[in-house]
Structure 1
Amino acid sequence: MKGSNKATVLTLAEKCKNILVSNWQGYLNTIKTDAQGSKENIYTSKVKYIIRKGNPLIWVPEHELHNVNTIIDERGSFSVASPYPGPLGKLLKSMNKFPVRVALTGDVVPVKDKKAESAANYLKEMMLSEEKALKEFNYTVSGVLSSSNHFSTTRSENLKELIDGGENYVIYKFNLSSCMFVDGNGGTHEVDFEDMEKCKAGLLAPYSAKLIDGINQSEARRRGLILFCFIYLNVNARDAYMLSLDRKGFDVLGKVRNKVTGDEIDEYQWKQFRITFKEEAWDIESFCQQLVEMEEDAIKKVSSYSGLG
């Protein structure tokens, strides 16, 4: 297990695709239009969506101003952040650190009649498939997910309101024209459009929020992250949280001591570290299996270091 390099991290396009599939809500921006037809300002609201054939399908409530704006001008932008559930969100806020996100520009085009019906049916099928998968995961996966908040981290649970009939929606397809990856410090990185069209999200992506929350809500699993920092990175961490994950490994926020000299008081700060897998984890079961094996390996090594093994 080593720190990050080109061989152990995803491309920007893969990161963007994973973020889009891992979340279910984002911020839609359209150009606000007044009665005289002049274009002023931007109207923004949080909306729910799914990804189909590489493009966002967005459900906009009928009362939203977007439905008027897009009649006059279809241009819009859409921003989606990597999920940051539970304690991770509070930690990032305390650090003044942003979750990484995707910023898209393109046209917001209404989906009508049979295509809208097809989109709604696709949503229902996706939700049923995800709920079925969650019930059928093996013991190892269930053990990792058991500490997670089901209602705040499960995509199907958060999309239920779209089909419950409590509100009427207009469905839009967001046709991409450009994509930017925004890192945790607010830096922007343009993503090649052809790369975005070619690459696909990993099978882990739909469950990443639940996996991250399950790990971060478990004291035992967080102790495991601390051991990973020590065993695999030679870093002494006082505390640790999982920040993100993908098929090649995961990013950890570790609370480590600053280097001090003389009479300075020891201080701790959160730093990001990358831990990579020996083999790529192509689905949730292989991810959880490797995580558990790494925990067992780390415990054995720590025991042998302390003379207890």
Structure 2
Amino acid sequence: MTIRSVIKGSGSALPKRAVANAEMAQMVDTTDEWIVERTGIRNRHIAGEGETTATLAIEASRKALEAAGIDGADVGLIVLATATPDQTFPATATQVQHALGCNGGIAFDVAAVCSGFLYALSVADSMLKTGMAKTALVIGAETFSRILDWEDRTTCVLFGDGAGAVVLQAQDVDESDPNAPGIIATRLHADGKHNELLYVDGGPSTTGTVGKLRMRGKEVFRHAVTNLSDVLREVLADTGIQAADIDWVVPHQANARILDATARKLGLPEEKVIVTVDRHANTSAASVPLAYDTAVRDGRIKPGDLVMFEAMGGGFTWGASLARV
């Protein structure tokens, strides 16, 4: 027997305000056709007054706990991935911890931008396996609308706000059983030399301001397709599992063209790829758990399915994780 981190439930949250491309066209020089053709995005949700990274994370976490049938007091670890925390410090995870009534355990944030949820998932998985906790909440939550340059049509149309969460629980499983649940393998990478391709031009230590998101989209696209297909192959090689055996791929929802190109490089049929970018746009660290919860709740992803999570974000950071859910 061995300990695996098993996904027991998921939840998600979106701001009340939905903004379609037609409304974006009234704000900046763009059109619905231009956005859809280049990104596949048709809608996004934008946080309003009183809606923050913490409030969205709390709502998503409560839904995940409800789906798992677990009380907040039983959570011993919270790892929250975000690039848009409510405060420079303390960690937004501590606000979630207090709201859920699980004080006294471990709670901290992880910053790996769009790959943040994969990094957080790996950290929580490792901590559960070493006995630091028995039950964990892994959250991706963002309010990227607050760091966008709303006069830059090449970036402001791409992003949205939201949160997603999963409950992980340490469980003894028979590793020789191919249908045993839990996280099977994860690979993570980073390469800091590409900082200038996707970054925020501010920070407490440099400008003393929050700053705005800057991106060179064509270069990011090229790196994303290569890095994601490579890391997916690494995870498959680690596990001895074939791409054809995967039931679902839940990718970071950055751009529909990246999703299509990555699937083609791996020979995966498009019907196996969960796509929500059209509804939610790019929600950074929230996008993978948000897409996963959407597919669980609409019945596509079912217990026992083999699911591959993958993401790439600023840094660059990227990674993939394979789990039997």
Task: Indicate the TM-score class for this superposition, using the shorter chain for normalisation.
Answer: under 0.3
Q: Which has the larger radius of gyration?
A: 1
Normalised by the length of structure 2, the TM-score is 0.23
- Normalised to the residue count of structure 1, the TM-score between the two structures is 0.24
More relative contact order, 1 or 2 (CA 8 Å, 6+ apart) = 2
